[in-house]
Amino acid sequence: MCHGKVLDITYHDLAKRKESVLMFMAFKKTPDHLLDAAYHRQKGTINGVSECIIMGIPMALGTGLMKLLHRSRPFKAPLKRPLLFKTKRFQRDVVINCDDDIINKQTLINSVMNRLEFPSFVFFIVSVSTINGYWSNEELLRRFNALHRQFPRQSKLYTIGNSVQGRPLFVLQFGGQGRKFAPKVKLVANMHGNEVTGRELLFDFATYMLTSERSRVKDVLRRTQIHVMPTMNPDGFVSAQRGQCDGVVGRFNANGVDLNRDFPGLDGNWSRRLQPETSSVARWILENKFVLSMNFHCGALVVNYPYDAYYFGEAHPIASSPDHDVFVSLASAYARRHFNMSYSVEFEGGITNGARWYPVNGGMQDFNYLYTDCFELTLELTTCKYPQQDPRRLEWRMNKEALFGFVASAHMGVKGVVIGANGASVDIVVVGKETKNATCDAFGRFWRLLEHGRRYKIYAVSKDGAKRSESVNVHLRNRRNKDAKFIKLVLR
């Protein structure tokens, strides 16, 4: 018995390719011919060398002279029939509205199969697109809701409030299930209604994190709780004009207020009345102990870090914070991982201090750092605010690695628990950074982002100064994207 593979094809075999099913299969003919042959129960004789090799059966040796003298039935070529897929009774036009919850290949296949009446086996090519390129607020919500329904155990869809015109400010939460010390990361887009690229980019990121089979993605997802808000200003988006790269139409909310000038800032002014969107987001920030945050904008290509405003009387060109080194490290890492941001001519290394670029009072970036333990960066995605053509796919490829690395950076620094706090307010003090202390949650847990490769002295002290822990010396080695150093502090 001989086994093997066909290395060449003879003229005889080439001629038989027209009717031999085995030849179709051996020489990689298209599957529709094989399906057609199976449907019509076509039979093929095994009388050639190549066919015997394909089937793995004994073949005749010698010249085959006896077969030439043998009287055999004349060969009749099968009648030509139209291919099965060219037969109209087997064709169906399946129309899938873009409103349907089509978010991945399997869901698409199920949607098509549910609308067919006959299938035992089906081959099809489908293209799904959005006619207008960009998703409306309603479509955006449906997409995120469909993603949540696909992963109901791993995700949660909730609303923190409504816009001036009553549109929901929704958030998709995923990751960190059952982990007591999983740091919280938030990503917020579309704060200015006419800066649109971040809306769908965050959907791509959420889909990637929930569907990826890569071990590094699963590891970060397991250890990190991520909150995604794709639009903070849905009213402004409705009024924005497509193709307008530099205008301000749609920038403000329905009351004509710039939301990135509406937060309490360095002046500590909490007396003024906040806009509904600002109030909802500020309450959300204060009620959740976020560790890391990114605010997505458009109009340039740069990563912006605090402070966005100068203190009164400050004359330095850079409005640096006590954690200037951490912010520069986070911003530089994002720019380097980005496809081309670090090659910027306008901004050295693709990063800038907010106030040095242009001062902004009442920005959300400063609010996060001043009043919570959250470190927020502002990402300017594209130089055009509302491109005529949706750059979603291109921007996702350019930002994918940088965004993933940024979220993983929530594990740099230290985390831990304070024993003896008993719900009291406690500061986590890092010697050398005393002007910016971290705080504990109701369970005594804390997180503090710190630059790696350095040594720190850390202790806990109650707000009234009555209790204090012993100082702990911590050496943070260069182990980015690993778990933060865990420390335990006991108040005495």
Do the Cβ atoms of 279 and 379 come closer than 8 Å?
A: no
Active-site annotation holds for 138: no
Structure-block tokens of residue 211: 């569907």
Separation of first and last alpha carbons in the chain: 86
**What are the structure tokens assigned to 66, written together?**
């006896």
Buried b (16+ CB within 10 A) or exposed e, 293-327: bbbbbbbbbbbbbbbbbbeeeeeeebbbbebbebb
The CA distance from 53 to 67, in Å, is: 19
The side-by-side arrangement of strands in the sheet containing 184-189 is 155-162, 168-174, 225-229, 184-189, 290-297, 375-380, 302-305, 351-353
Residues whose CB falls within 8 Å of the CB of residue 105, separated by 6 or more in sequence, listed in order = none
Query: Residue 104 has which token pair?
Result: 């991945």
A 10 A CB-CB count for 254 gives 20
Under a CB-based contact definition with an 8 Å cutoff, are residues 412 and 450 in contact? yes
Round the CA-based radius of gyration of the chain to a whole number and report it: 32
Residues 6 or more apart whose CB falls under 8 angstroms from that of 176 comprise 182, 183, 184, 221, 222, 223, 224, 225, 226
**From the candidates 200, 376, 380, 395, which is the catalytic residue?**
380
CB 321 within 8 A of CB 327: yes
Sheet holding 445-448, edge to edge: 445-448, 414-419, 485-490
Q: How many residues does the chain have?
A: 492
In single-letter form, the type of residue at position 74 comes to P
Q: Which of 257, 219, 215, 217 is nearest to 236 (CA)?
A: 257
C-alpha to C-alpha distance for 301 and 21, rounded to whole angstroms: 58
- Residues with active-site annotation: 380
